Amino acid sequence: MNRRGVSLVEVLIAMVLMSFGLLSLAQAAALGLRVTTRARNDMQYYADEQQIMDSLVARGWNKVTSGATTLRGRPVSWTVTTLTPNAQRITMLVTRPKYQSPTRYATDTLTVYLNNPTIVP
């Protein structure tokens, strides 16, 4: 006999394969969105750190005092230590949520040294 057409089993197999393909695409899109959001948050985080550190350095030699602030919900604190009569160290601590566990926090430390501009080495 010469039958034409598609059997029900073939249609079911095709639907299962297509479903797997579409689910894989949806999962890849969700992963891409999650990674893009994380990258955007990281860029904002580092830009905020840089902005605060730049503003402290811009104040200049011997004009920066220890302090703290909150930027976009993240606590930021800094301490100024005089190392020598011509050198200061600014240590900034920034707290942020961890990626794997948003209820736990990580602290990043940034250090910058300032020298007295009137003293030329």
What does pTM read for this prediction? 0.67
Task: Report the C-alpha gap between 19 and 68 in whole angstroms.
Answer: 53
Task: Report the C-alpha gap between 84 and 114 in whole angstroms.
Answer: 11
pLDDT tens by residue, 38-66: 888 888 888 888 899 999 888 888 888 99
Distance in Å from the first CA to the final CA of the chain: 99
pLDDT tens by residue, 81-113: 998 888 899 999 988 877 777 788 888 899 999
pLDDT tens by residue, 1-24: 667 777 888 899 999 999 999 999
